[in-house]
Amino acid sequence: MSKISSLDLIQKPDRITLGIELPLDNDWSPDGERRRASAGRPFGVPDLSNQTELVRKVDDLGFAAVWIRDVPLFDQINMGDAGSVYDVFTFLGFLAAATRNVALGTAAVVLPIRHPLMTAKAAASADALSGGRLILGIASGDRPVEYPLLGLNFEERGDRFRHAVSYLRDAWQAGGLAVDGERIPALDLLPRPIQPAIPMIVAGRAQQSDDWLAANMDGRFVYPASLDRLADQTRAWSRATSGRGAFISAFHLDLLDNADATSTPIRFGARLGRKALIDHLQKLADVGVDHIAVNLRQSTRPPAEIVEELAADVMPQLGKKSAAAAA
């Protein structure tokens, strides 16, 4: 088994790293909206026609991770967002074959709506097929319609989440599975994960206390926020975990052709030029953010152009974290 954790692909001691959040399109731009309407796709259903080619480009260009969401149901009225469309674990298996280097992250698997044995099996399979590149982001879910459809109580999702986390960690270990509290050595879960322990990061809070998250999670994935808000969150997380856990956030990017363009806020991110982006990412690194999942759905330029510019002109400019952040 590899002794290297997939977190090492995104958590570097000397610099912030960049990943890409899927789906990789720009459907939320004016041109993207026109293309969607012309193609007859409902709002919220992404353009997946170039996903494989674009994901391979991201992998080849040296990004640290690709991130996929778990959206079992397309709720057109209440949510209007189909995520990446594909089943999260089926998609992970595909990405394992389509890529070679990037971490494969989920942001995040809705843990309480699945039996933990099947989640353990699927995650171990994805880790084995990818050569140990899985980062299992997990959450309790924020779409109440999913629970009654499955005959589950939405209000019990916090308890189910804690139980599932314990079950996963136990199921991935050698020595058999437990039945009615008794471990049966002859029962085994195959395949065994490549990593000694698949990292689990929490998206949001999953109905848990800060102390529980710090003790049980390998990282946090938080919603996009202001620099001051992220600084407060990273400090609290670092104190709670003694600097152990990874800290990840997302950023919706509209990268303009003009490298000198100043920053204008957009929902969950900014419209700006390359120089302002580098400055912003450096500030994020200085307050202790380890990794940013870049979302390009609001971009006015084609995603392929943007990932090429990020790889060629932005990532090489990301310098060392400040002493305070690296401590």
Q: Is residue 148 part of a domain?
A: yes
Which pLDDT does position 309 carry in this prediction? 98
Q: Tally the domains of the chain.
A: 1
Which pLDDT does position 322 carry in this prediction? 53
Q: Is residue 180 part of a domain?
A: yes
Q: Is residue 58 part of a domain?
A: yes
Q: Tell me: the pLDDT tens digits for 251-272?
A: 999 999 999 999 999 999 999 9
**In the predicted model, what is the mean pLDDT of residues 302-322?**
90
Query: What average pLDDT is seen over the chain?
Result: 93
Q: Tell me: the pLDDT tens digits for 32-62?
A: 999 999 999 999 999 999 999 999 999 999 9
Q: How many helices (H) and strands (E) does the chain have?
A: 11, 13
**In the predicted model, what is the mean pLDDT of residues 90-115?**
97
Determine what percent of the chain is predicted with pLDDT higher than 90: 85
For residue 254, give the amino acid letter: D
The β-bridge partners of 68 are: 106
Which pLDDT does position 234 carry in this prediction? 96
- Residue 100's CB is within 10 A of a number of other CB atoms, namely 12
Which pLDDT does position 143 carry in this prediction? 81
Residue 284 structural domain: 6-326
The CA-atom distances, in angstroms, between 50 and each of 22, 26, 65, 312 are 12, 12, 18, 21
DSSP string covering 179-237, please? Answer: ETTEEETT---SSPPSSSS--EEEES-TT--HHHHHHH-SEEEE----HHHHHHHHHHH
pLDDT at 317 over 70: yes
Q: Is residue 307 part of a domain?
A: yes
CATH number at residue 210: 3.20.20.30
Taking Cα atoms as reference points, which of 197, 166, 193 lies closest to residue 181? 166
Q: Is residue 12 part of a domain?
A: yes
Kindly provide the residue ranges of all beta strands, DSSP E only, lying in 129-189, ordered along the sequence: 134-139, 177-179, 182-184
Given a contact cutoff of 8 angstroms between Cβ atoms, the answer to whether 95 and 131 are in contact is: no
Q: Is residue 187 part of a domain?
A: yes
**In the predicted model, what is the mean pLDDT of residues 231-248?**
95
Q: Is residue 1 part of a domain?
A: no
